[in-house]
Amino acid sequence: MSVMQFTVQPSSSLGTIALVALVVTGAVLLLLALTTGRRAKTIRRTFAALMIIGLVVIGLGVWLFFASSTPSTITVGSGYVSIQSPGFSGAGNMNITANKIASAYVGQIGSGNLTLSKQHGTNYDHFNVGIFTLGNGATADVVSNNSTDLIIQLSSGEYVILGTSNTNALATSFSQSVYPLNIG
């Protein structure tokens, strides 16, 4: 079986919301610096502080826009599945070999033991990338833009949850190359 690669693309509106919110906040701070900085008794300190904070907030907005638009990649090869995800807004990089897997199946996240509670990362609509706590208390590295996902339980008790726009193709490739899926 050849190596298959799947991409989990974040929602474009996620980065846009962060960009707009932070740039507007930064612009308001810059405006405040220009208006109140002139009237303040300690003109230079107030002006400089508001200008610096305003510029930092605008810079953060621009950085978050580009950071949140970075896709994650899932690679399925012979005996392994590899995940490349941005560490600052996602799960980071992982390589999971067949001997680390206790079970695998396709399931629906969002209810029961598969309820997600974010520890670190991004969750927006069906886009979940990062480290989450499951309804059963276990930790899960999640890279998904779908509610139907490949659920991998590791021998360590932790989970890896992967979902793409075509989770069926991901699950088929995974079951043929890495580890057989439990059915039902």
Number of H helices, E strands in the chain: 3, 10
- Would you state the pLDDT for residue 89? 56
Higher pLDDT among residues 136 and 63, named by residue: 136
Q: Edge-to-edge strand order for the sheet containing 159-163?
A: 101-108, 148-154, 159-163, 139-144, 127-134, 116-124
**Exposure on the CB side of residue 105, measured as CA atoms within 13 A:** 9
57-61, 91-95, 111-115, 162-166: which is most confident: 162-166
Q: Residue 13's pLDDT is what?
A: 63
Res. 85 pLDDT band, cuts 50 70 90: confident
Least confident of 39-48, 80-89, 90-99, 128-137: 39-48
Q: What is the mean pLDDT of residues 48-61?
A: 80
Nearest residue to 81 (alpha-carbon basis) of 184, 182, 176: 176
Q: What was the pLDDT predicted at 151?
A: 96
pLDDT digits (tens, 9 = 90+) for 6-30: 878 666 665 666 677 777 888 888 7
pLDDT reported for residue 43 = 67
H-only helix segments in 71-164: none
| 15, 171 contact by CB (below 8 A) | no
More confidently predicted of 184 and 175: 175
Read off the pLDDT of each residue in 132-139 and give the average, rounded to a whole number. Answer: 94
pTM of the model: 0.72
